[in-house]
């Protein structure tokens, strides 16, 4: 068998291109003229990322030699171990950036929440595969799947890592919809996120979208109880948003919300990140200012420019075409994973690929939205591009498992 003809090299190429783009941006953000403003440990980020990419490449290759049934058989054990480690992080983890998300094992710091994303996808895919029908008449299966995703989300919230928790919550309607959940219920599940977004901007917009979503749910599903539930959830979400902003969120989180709504109110404080990010993106023009020539980057106006705000670095120094090329690579990767999912005949493989696609898409949307001022800044990295070992290895493992499942689709033997 000429195995290389059945291997999805396009996905691998996208992985390589994104990794290289990340290295270029990290070098500019930490080792260019900007290095004079940075401590030595940050200047080591480029070398560290090289090591993480090397280890990830080994992991990607190694995963291809694993029998695909192993991912399903060990999913609950992997999930349970990650849950225990995440709980341990809540009590004994290292706090950084206001969140307790790092657990030290030996001499290595690991962000368990990154691995927990993969574990959650695998366990939910395994569970839903054993419950093929989650239609309205079998809604109990959907509830169990939701609980499996809510447990890690709650633990991560206890770590004060709201961004990662939101990512896990965002994949709930995606995986359930792919498993057969009706359109109306799927719309109901995503309605809290939509209502919350517009309620943050203005409570009147929250009311408007609550009404529109309720009408949409009724037109699609034609069930009065579901329409009423949408309205009730909308009201609760709007109340919850106001309570959270005024009484629950910590000062730095409240500042992020205020900066999202109107960054010009505090241009030297809470609005600084967004304003500098938008300035960097806009100043790049069509072709950019050139490698190591971005003023916002090299003069250290951009905050966290090797992680959360790495996209503005690329946009400033390589312009519209450079940033656009990066987004095209992301688009090709996501579409390829989606196509591979559609072509696979086994539900477990389909759900894993859909879950991975959703994770990457949510990260992409939130990271870009934060940098452009379209979403509050919640500290999510750009997959494969931002600096970070745990995140990079986690994303690579997701891609590696998808490659394995796609390669073995012709002789796939798993429990259904």
Per-residue pLDDT, 245: 76
The predicted model scores a pTM of 0.90
Residue with tokens 């000062």: 251
| Percent of the residues in the chain that have a pLDDT greater than 70, as a whole number | 90
Where would I find the H helices in 290-346?
295-298, 310-343
Average pLDDT over residues 245-250: 72
Distance CA 371, CA 321 (A): 17
17-to-9, 208, 325 alpha-carbon distances in Å: 12, 42, 10
Average pLDDT over residues 267-273: 70
Residue 416 has pLDDT above 50, yes or no: no
Q: What is the DSSP letter of 54?
A: H
Residue 376 has pLDDT above 90, yes or no: no
* Residues in CB range of 190: below 8 A, 6 or more apart: 173
Sheet order of strands, 99-105 included:
94-96, 99-105, 108-110
Distance CA 13, CA 377 (A): 30
- Picking from 371, 78, 314, the residue whose alpha carbon sits closest to that of residue 380 is 371
Per-residue pLDDT, 92: 86
Q: Which of 132 and 147 is assigned the larger pLDDT?
A: 147
Residue 261 has pLDDT above 80, yes or no: no
Per-residue pLDDT, 116: 94
pLDDT digit string, tens, across residues 188-206: 888 888 888 888 878 888 8
For residue 141 the two structure tokens come to 């299966």
Residue 303 has pLDDT above 70, yes or no: yes
**Is residue 103 within 8 Å of residue 112, measured between CB atoms?**
yes
End-to-end CA gap in the chain: 27
* Four-point Cα dihedral 117, 123, 125, 128, nearest 10: -140
Average pLDDT over residues 166-174: 88
**Bridge-based pairing state of the strands 94-96 and 99-105:** antiparallel
pLDDT category, 130, cuts 50, 70, 90?
A: confident
């Amino acid at each position: 068998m000429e195995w290389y003809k059945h291997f999805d090299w396009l996905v691998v190429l996208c992985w390589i291109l994104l990794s290289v783009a990340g290295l270029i941006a990290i070098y500019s953000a930490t080792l260019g003229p900007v290095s004079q403003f940075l401590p030595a440990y940050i200047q080591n980020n480029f070398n560290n990322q090289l090591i993480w990419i090397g280890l990830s490449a080994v992991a990607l290759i190694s995963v291809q030699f694993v029998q695909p049934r192993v991912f399903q058989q060990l999913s609950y054990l992997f999930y349970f171990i990650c849950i225990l480690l995440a709980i341990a992080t809540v009590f004994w983890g290292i706090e950084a950036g206001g969140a307790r998300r790092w657990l030290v094992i030996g001499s290595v710091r690991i962000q368990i929440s990154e691995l927990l994303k993969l574990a959650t996808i695998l366990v939910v895919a395994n569970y839903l595969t054993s419950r093929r029908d989650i239609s309205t008449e079998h809604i109990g299966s959907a509830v169990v799947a939701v609980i499996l995703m809510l447990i890690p989300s709650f633990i991560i919230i206890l770590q004060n890592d709201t961004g990662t928790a939101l990512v896990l919550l965002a994949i709930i309607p995606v995986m359930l919809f792919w498993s057969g959940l009706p359109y109306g219920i799927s719309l109901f599940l995503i309605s809290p996120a939509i209502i919350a977004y517009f309620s943050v901007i203005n409570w009147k917009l929250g009311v408007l979208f609550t009404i529109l979503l309720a009408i949409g749910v009724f037109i699609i599903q034609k069930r009065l109880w579901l329409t009423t539930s949408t309205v009730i959830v909308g009201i609760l979400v709007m109340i919850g948003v106001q309570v959270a902003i005024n009484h629950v969120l910590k000062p730095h989180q409240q500042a992020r919300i205020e900066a999202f709504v109107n960054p010009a109110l505090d241009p030297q404080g809470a609005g600084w990140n967004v304003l500098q990010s938008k300035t960097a993106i806009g100043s790049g023009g069509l072709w950019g200012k050139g490698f190591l020539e971005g003023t916002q980057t090299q003069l250290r106006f951009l905050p966290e420019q090797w992680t959360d705000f790495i996209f503005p670095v690329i946009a400033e120094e390589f312009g519209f075409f450079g940033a656009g090329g990066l987004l095209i690579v992301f688009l090709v990767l996501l579409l390829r994973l989606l196509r591979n999912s559609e072509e696979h005949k086994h539900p477990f493989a389909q759900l894993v690929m859909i879950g991975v696609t959703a994770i990457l898409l949510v990260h992409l949307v939130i990271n870009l939205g934060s940098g452009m001022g379209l979403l509050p800044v919640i500290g999510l990295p750009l997959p494969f591009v931002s600096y970070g070992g745990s995140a990079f290895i986690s994303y690579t493992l997701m891609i590696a498992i998808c490659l394995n499942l796609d390669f073995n689709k012709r002789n796939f033997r798993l429990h259904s």
